Chains A and B, each alone.
Chain A
Amino acid sequence: MLTAEDKKLVQQVWGKLGGAEEEIGAETLWRMFQSYPPTKTYFPHFDLSQGSDQIRGHGKKVVAALGNAIKNMDNLSQALSELSNLHAYNLRVDPPRFSLQFLAQCLQVALATRLGKEYSPEAHSAIDKFMSAVASVLAEKYR
C-alpha cells in the first residue's frame, strides 16, 4: 500500500526530472528492449532501431501516462482505467511481464543514472511500490 510518505517521494522524484520526461521514456524503452529481448515481441509493427521515432513517441506516451497516474495516486484505478482496459482486452501483454517489472526496472535505472545519490533507498522503495501498484491496476481486468 502506498503511504502518504511514498506518494510524496514519488512526486518529488518526478519533480526532479525537469522536462527530461520524454527522453527518459525513450531511454527506458530502449533499455528494456536491449536487456529483455522478449519484450520486443509486443512491437512487431515498430521500427525498434535505436533512436527510432516510434520508440520516442511511445516512450513519451508511457511517461505521460505515468505522470498522470502520479497526479492521481489516490485513485489509480480510475486514472488508469482506460489503459487497464486497453492492456486487458487489446494489448494483452503477458501479466507476469508486468509484475516481473521489466519496464519498472529499466525506468528505475534511467532515473538512477540521472539522479545519482538523490535516488535514495527511500525514493527507490517508493517508486518500486508505485510501479507495482500501476502494474496491478493494469492487470486488474485480465480475467
Chain B
Amino acid sequence: MVHWTAEEKQLITGLWAKVNVEECGAEALARLLIVYPWTQRFFDNFGNLSSPTAIIGNPKVRAHGKKVLTSFGEAVKNLDNLKGTFSKLSELHCDKLHVDPENFRLLGDILVIVLASHFGRDFSPACQTAWQKLVGVVAHALAHKYH
C-alpha cells in the first residue's frame, strides 16, 4: 500500500479542489494526442484528429478528457485504496481496450504539465513531487490487473 504523508495529501486535495475537471481533462487528453500522436490509435472513431487545432476543438476529445479526469478524481478521494478503486478499470483497459500501460505514464506526465501551466508558481516543487507520485501510483493501479 502506498504511504501518503499529511503534507502530500494536502498538496493533492488542496490543488484538486481548484481544478476545472472539464477543462483540464480536455486539455490533458488533447495534449496526449498531439504530443504523442501514436496514442491516436485508440481513438479511431473520434473523427477529425488531423491537426492540433482539430484535436483541441474535437467534442469527442473534450468529452472523453472530462470522463478520464473525473475518474482520476476518484483516485484523489481514495488515496488509501488506489488498487481497489481502479480494479475494474484496469481489467477494462487490458481486456477490452488493449491499452499498453506505458500510455498511463505518458498521460500522467502530461497532466502534471497541464497543472503547472494552470497554476504557475503555486505548482511548487513540493506540489509537483506529490502529483508525480500520484500519477505514478494511479498508472501502477491501472496496470495492476493486466495479464
Contact = CB atoms under 8 A, between A and B. Distances in A.
Interface in A42-79: none
B120 to A, nearest CB: 5
B128 interface: yes
A82 interface: no
Interface in A74-125: 101, 105-106, 108-109, 112-117, 119, 121-122, 124-125
Interface string A17-48: 00000000001001100111000000000000
A124 B116 CA distance: 12
User: What does DSSP make chain B's interface, helix, strand, loop or mixed?
Assistant: helix
Contacts of A31: 125, 128-129
A115 B119 CA distance: 11
Interface band, chain A: 20 to 34
Interface in B102-138: 109, 112-114, 116-121, 123, 125-126, 128-129, 132-133
B24 interface: no
Contacts of B52: 121-122, 125
Contact of B128 (A34, A125, A128): A34
Contacts of B117: 112-113, 115-117, 119
Contact of B35 (A36, A112, A114, A125): A125
B21 interface: no
Interface of B: 27, 30-31, 34-35, 52, 55-56, 109, 112-114, 116-121, 123, 125-126, 128-129, 132-133
Interface of A: 27, 30-31, 34-36, 101, 105-106, 108-109, 112-117, 119, 121-122, 124-125, 128
The 9 A-B pairs with the shortest beta carbon distances in the complex, nearest first, are: A112-B116, A112-B117, A35-B132, A109-B116, A125-B35, A34-B129, A121-B34, A35-B129, A31-B125
